[in-house]
Amino acid sequence: MARIHRYFGYTMLFIGNATIMSGIGNYYGKRLRGDERKVLGFFSFVVFCILIAILEGAFRIRNKYGMGHV
């Protein structure tokens, strides 16, 4: 059950960040008439994915070598 909860949690995080990414692209692309800052949405998504990977890795390593599992 914990594995399903983790997968659904990450799915929701990525869907939410993809929504933010598309909103940033839409705002800068259409509202501000093709501003070059629309690439910030994609940059935000990439940084988010890297951050999640680092934090998940640290969490798993900490639990692996800790005295008890969380």
Structure tokens at 43: 């940059």
In this structure, the number of other CB atoms found within 10 A of the CB of residue 58 comes to 10
Report the C-alpha gap between 26 and 34 in whole angstroms. Answer: 9
pLDDT of residue 50: 96
- Residue 33: the pLDDT is 85
Supply the pLDDT for residue 69: 61
For residues 24 and 45, is the Cβ–Cβ distance under 8 A? no
What per-residue confidence (pLDDT) applies to 70? 57
pLDDT of residue 19: 95
Q: Tell me which residues of the chain have a pLDDT lower than 70.
A: 68-70
- Its pTM stands at 0.76
